[in-house]
Structure 1
Amino acid sequence: MANNFKMLAKTMYGFEDILAAELKALGAMNVETGVRSVSFEGDTGFMYKANLSLRTAIKILKPIRTFFVRGDQDLYDKVYRMEWERHMKVSGTFAIDATVNSDLFNHSKYVALKTKDAIVDRFRNILGKRPDVDVKYPDLRIHIHIQRNQVTISLDSSGQSLHQRGYKTATNIAPINEILAAGMLLQSGWDGQCDFLDPMCGSGTLLIEAAMIACNIPANINRREFAFEKWPDYDQELFDKIVDSSLNKTREFHHKIYGFDKAPSAVHKANDNVKNANLSEYIQVQQQDFFESDKPVEGHLHMVFNPPYGERLNINMPEFYRQIGDTLKNNYPDTEAWFITADLSAFKHVGLRPSRKIKLFNGKLESRLYKYEIYAGSKKAKFN
């Protein structure tokens, strides 16, 4: 289509295929996976929709120029020649993020500085004054990527990372990132067709993301703003239509989502965040030690959780993971249980054989997402 343009969605390691599937389901064209990224094509309305709806995207970049450079002066000259006055007002603010993998440049901050100088000098020479830099809340966030001698300059349509959904006001120690939570849920095949439990729910991120997937609620519906809302060509009427259309595609959820945590403070924070996300009717959080719990429902249960590990709490890891395995085996028949850990030897102590292992990163920590299938007959067999 004539109005379509290329975009790039950035994501976390291991979620490239999931993000590609999300984009295709939304209606993106020419979807191609990369490393921690997926490229695609769509129009301005689709860019709005991608920011609003994608669960596993960190940012949506809109490339506006690609060129080759021979050195820093060449970079300056080519950035200077771009019509920056089309993208922001001289009274506005901007910020530059740079990523560099090149023998020509050995520091991303230097590239950002050189780019900033070219933009500022262009405004000063044409209009007699210059826009200011604001690294926290700019009107325009520019992304420059240099691979060898190829430069791609993009506008960041998202602004703050898209994991900042807007519903979380209270957090626990080392809360799980919302994008990681959504990606784990989608990796696990969660689709809202049964009851769900996070038995160590902390501040409730997995519970909320699970409910939003189950009800097909746009991931960023609670977010206060996107960077594209400050662009000169922002179309408020179009964005409102995209929001209304997305909300019309929500669906009813006929099961229940349960959260356990043994810390009263965590239960309180989780309930606050669930309320902020307007999901209280679907999610029930209670103070409960998982190791002293029984399955809260009849029938099949889908479980996804992020157990604490040595980085966060001083616990006896072998004993802790043995208790996870024993609790699942003895008290949770007909359950599909998934959990993530950065302690890569921990699963040996669970005492159950995982049916899947998926490599992910929790922040900078290499982690594994393990799947355990607990069959309905296992508890009965134990007592025979």
Structure 2
Amino acid sequence: MSAKMRFGAFVGPHHPLNENPTLAMERDLELAEILEKYDYDEVWYGEHHSAGWETIASPELMIAAAAERTKRIMLGSAVSSLPYHHPLMLAERFSQLDHMTRGRAMIGMGPGSLASDAEMMGIDVAKQRDMMDDGIDVMVKLLRGETVTAKTDWFTLNNARIHMRPYTRPRIEMVAASTVSPTGARASGRNGIGMLSFGATSSAAFDALAANWHIAEEVAEANGQKVDRSKWRLVAPMHIAETREQAKKDVEFGIDGWADYLRNVAALPIVPGGGDVIDALLSSNMAVIGTPDDAIAQIRRLQEQSGGFGTLLLFGHNWANWESTKRSYEMFARYVMPEIDEMPDNRKISCDECRASRPELAGKIAAAIQDRIQRHIDERGEKDIAPELIAALPKKGES
């Protein structure tokens, strides 16, 4: 029997420039409470330092604040940009979060998605993935509580260890970011950690899903490690409503600005170029803007293409206004999650069995009621019995 799929949200976040950033960030924290209410499993916050829209600079601060508002939901960074941090300092902060959240903190690790961030810090964009590899390799050891000595061209560790051993044993949940290139898959396999595939529904990343997982498995085997599909997370953009027409109407609120940001500001190859944004997203199968059934079909498509994964993360795109956005998350929880669960649904089994046996059971109930009426009549006559009930009783000699 396969494991139950988990669900969550990736909160970049994506907030347009005409919004109050303070209130938008408050909404990002409120979302963690809402998702916990609807039985989602995890929330991931991003790290960005430029381009205006993605305003969270410290995932750790968001995790700490969200942890105070929630009790169960897991909270992660998606991702912590390793080239921007000395690995010992980053490991220290997440070890502390692991204790503060009683084991609910997770860390996603990547090279940094915005070239403009790296440029401001004088980091060569061409070296970011090499720096990510350096960082992940020691972060895994540090967050296991090991003592590490290492020297690269951008950091040094001398007999270094985190101050407190992690609350979670043997280490907190760790994932490597992956898109199209094999960088994240190789890091995942080399260290035996999870993988988080951004933009999994975009055409290039979708095509690379199975290949990247195969790479992770091969590299893991070569390094004496194991990777687990249940630790593989895929990010997919969806907005759910009662009808496709309503979903399209909802996203008119903000989808054009979102697409412009990703096409022309962030310079990320996520949104198909040209033409109407909604049509481009739907015709390419990159996004779901529709009903729960459309969401279910997209998840099945991802399962088939990837060969299986553990968690689906909904892209926190803010295409619709806040009320419609909350409604979308609620509808997904109510109508999509149960259908994806591969456990036999005993409610449906019971319903089908009762439907098939209804004539027989209804006859038994009617016979039992008629018997009690007849017994009352036999004891006390027809007093207090409605004439309609007496008329409905079988006549003597009738079966």
Structure 2 length-normalised TM: 0.26
| Structure in which a larger fraction of residues adopt strand | 1
| Structure in which a larger fraction of residues adopt helix | 2
Please say which structure displays the higher CA radius of gyration.
Answer: 2
